[in-house]
Amino acid sequence: MGAASLSTLDAIPRVDLLDGPTPIQRLERIERALGLADRGIRLYAKRDDLMSLGGGGNKLRKLEYHLGGALADGVDTVVSVGGVQSNHARLTAAAAARLGLACELFLARMVPRDGTDYERNGNVLLDDLFNARPSILAPGENALEHANARAQALRAAGHTVLVLPTGGSTPLGALGYARCAREIAQQEAQRGLRFDRVIVPNGSAGTQAGLVAGYAAMGRDTRSVRAYAVLAAEDRARETARDLANAALGLLGKEGTLTAGDIEVDGGELGDGYGVPTDAMVAAVRLMASQEGVLLDPVYSGKAFAGLLRDLRCGVVREGEDVLFVVTGGTPGLFAYREVFA
């Protein structure tokens, strides 16, 4: 097996929203700051924040497959959902602008935050610049119900509509990170190394699920893909990732037999809930920025990197391991959390 075992990915409709493989960079200053050389541990970052479209981020990989299928089906309007500061909503709007599609967004109040910074800055500002129509819902309203009702009205008016769920995390969307798993394997071969761990956040679970499906298809250890839950509790996050990974494997023509034991999720960085800052997240964001000049977001990658730092301190990461941290983007969210970093 190996990267060639994922050739099925190339037969599934997809639109190119990236600029080729995203780079992998060594985090040498953080290695020195943490004294990792004495333990033979090497840290790398997979820069999925470095994409030219819409500010970049992991959601573009999922959108490549969602919108590839949509264009094949003649879709003219995309309707999607997310939280107020949804990275997925922002990148859906950007991709729709690139492809000449109309875009409407229904944003739910998933985080106990309000104020001008949160409701008008960051991703919300960009949604508008990308010519989407964002609607921030009242507390307790169901964004997907609003999206489906709007899609029904648009279809009645003669439009062909695609409705995307939170994070674009469907089996089809997860294929974007199965493709990323193949990309990582190819970059490993070019560098002559093999990562012992690949670190990601688990929000709507599509990123981890796709990587797990890709690793399973290539015959690699799926538990080397370690995620930190940032949305759901640990057990729920693990089950969602398992189900999505198995369904993604089915789309690849492979048997999905993964169990919960094949999925590595840590719930220790969730804190008080989705989008709620933690001291560990703030410290992790500051460390990455001050040592490497790389920006992490406060909702996803900041908490995931906090989890990795904890695992480095506690010895979960073993001597001699090569660790790849996937920077999933979301930089605009920092501006919505200005007071947290003040």
| 290 in catalytic set | no
Residues 100, 144 within the same domain: yes
Residues 281, 184 within the same domain: yes
Residues 250, 283 within the same domain: yes
Residue-level pLDDT at 1: 64
Residues 43, 174 within the same domain: yes
Domain boundary among 105, 135, 168: 168
Tell me which long-range contacts 21-26 makes (C-beta under 8 A, separation of at least 24).
Answer: 21/183, 21/186, 21/187, 22/46, 22/47, 22/48, 22/50, 22/51, 22/183, 23/47, 23/50, 24/184, 24/187, 24/191, 24/324
Name the domain count of the chain.
Answer: 2
Given a cut of 70, the residues of the chain with pLDDT beneath it are: 1
Residues 174, 156 within the same domain: no
Residues 155, 232 within the same domain: no
Residue-level pLDDT at 309: 98
Residues 12, 76 within the same domain: no
Residue-level pLDDT at 2: 77
* CATH number of residue 184's parent domain: 3.40.50.1100
Residue-level pLDDT at 118: 96
Q: Domain limits at 74?
A: 59-168
Residues 44, 179 within the same domain: yes
Q: Which residue has the tokens 């500002």?
A: 125
Contact (Cβ atoms closer than 8 angstroms) between residue 324 and residue 191: no
Residues 6 or more apart whose CB falls under 8 angstroms from that of 104 comprise 77, 78, 79, 80, 132, 133, 134, 135, 147, 150
Residues 92, 182 within the same domain: no
Beta-sheet strand order (sheet of 161-164): 133-136, 102-108, 77-83, 161-164
Residues 36, 152 within the same domain: no
Per the residue annotation, which of 7, 52, 86, 135 is the catalytic one?
Answer: 86
Residues 128, 156 within the same domain: yes
Distance CA 127, CA 121 (A): 10
Contact (Cβ atoms closer than 8 angstroms) between residue 9 and residue 175: yes
The mean predicted confidence, pLDDT, of the chain is 97
> Which strand (E) or helix (H) includes residue 93?
helix 87-99
HSE, side-chain direction, 13 A CA sphere, residue 161? 20
